Amino acid sequence: MKLSRKMRTLPEQFFAALVQKVEKAKAEGRDIINLGQGNPDQPTPPHIVKALQKSAEDPINHKYSPFRGLKELKTVAADFYKREYNVDIDAETEVAILFGTKIGLVELPLALLDPGDLMLLPDPGYPDYLSGVKLADVQFETMPLIEKNKYLPDYAALSEQAKERAKLLYINYPNNPTGAVADLTFFEKTVAFAKEHNVAVSHDFAYGAIGFDGKKPISFLQAEGAKDVGVEMYTLSKTYNMAGWRVGFAVGNADIIEAINLIQDHLFVSLFPAVQHAAAAALSGSQECVAELVALYEQRRNALTEECHRIGWDVTAPQGSFFAWLPVANGYTSEGFADLLLEKADVAVAPGNGFGEFGEGYVRVGLLVEEERLREAVRRIEKLNLF
């Protein structure tokens, strides 16, 4: 059976090849320290699991839930934004429930753009942004994220044609893969750019809870006028270790929210109500589990940075997310360096070129194994005498 043209042009799943390499090495009986994955390693907090269990036992939740999600969860999401970011959200018109924010990021071009329209994407960036590009038959131009600009896009450097044609812009802070964060000034510049050029904005706030050195990441919606131009997508995957639960939400501009809800009316019949009740419990309950998780990631970040500096590896500690963005050793490409570490040190990392052209020269390391395993990984790399 021949696949459709659209299916044949979808980008190859970047992480699939990495997983195959790691699984092959494990099958050979090797002790692989896998730092290339992005899957949280801690369990979902017990009070969230209990909320799911209680809700799942209620037969009323075995029926179809409302197409656009439970009012309870939308209200709690709005309350969460007021409490955490002092941002006012209308629960009825400015919240869309998502099957994880990957869904929202991939479906948004389908909801807002016509074939041939132009998107602006960060480079390096989350590879699945390109899935939405292909499914919507739109074009894209990249915005380089480089160290000298603190991994923030320079809108002034875009071509005049790109500024004129662009209809949708994606940004993501704390950033995957670089670990960089954005400040209010950058978000204000983004709002000004979007208004000047009539561009819709989607801020991927997947790592919104994870900031270090006592600095909490800020929301794009805290910038004045942000709701006039865009939305923010918040997932529970990282904040509450709920990656497998597939639940998140978009908040912000009412027209964009309506577009998301409309396309989802045709694709889904909302989430299992018990998952929505558990999500509401996560957002509205004690946030002590979040503080403990951030402290754990910071401890791991500090351990990794300390070990890298000890062996002469000149790395910069990430300011947010649970990733570190590390330069490769002299004389290596990203992929060559990653292959070397896997073959000679039994350490798996994600090559930076998989995140875009400007990811070349780096590898992404996840802070998603125990501290001692992070230290052991660097000790193994040390034996290769690369630094």
Q: In the predicted model, is pLDDT for residue 56 greater than 90?
A: yes
**Roughly what angle, to the nearest 10 degrees, separates helices 46-56 and 273-284?**
150
Helix axes 71-85, 273-284, angle to 10 degrees: 20
Q: Per-residue pLDDT for 16 more than 90?
A: no
Taking alpha carbons only, the member of 178, 246, 173, 169 closest to residue 201 is: 169
Give the model confidence (pLDDT) of 142-169 as tens digits. Answer: 999 999 999 999 999 999 999 999 999 9
pLDDT at position 271? 95
What is the tens place of the pLDDT at every residue in 213-239? 999 999 999 999 999 999 999 999 999
Q: Considering the entire predicted model, what is its pTM?
A: 0.96
CA distances from 361 to 54, 114, 151 (A): 49, 35, 14
In the beta sheet, which residues pair with residue 67? none
Residues with Cβ within 8 Å of residue 261, at least 6 apart in sequence: 68, 96
Domains and CATH numbers, the chain: 5-44+288-382 (3.90.1150.10), 46-284 (3.40.640.10)
Q: What pLDDT does 171 receive?
A: 98
Strands 118-123 and 139-144: parallel
Q: What is the pLDDT of residues 96-115, one digit of tens each?
A: 999 999 999 999 999 999 99
Amino acid identity at 254: A
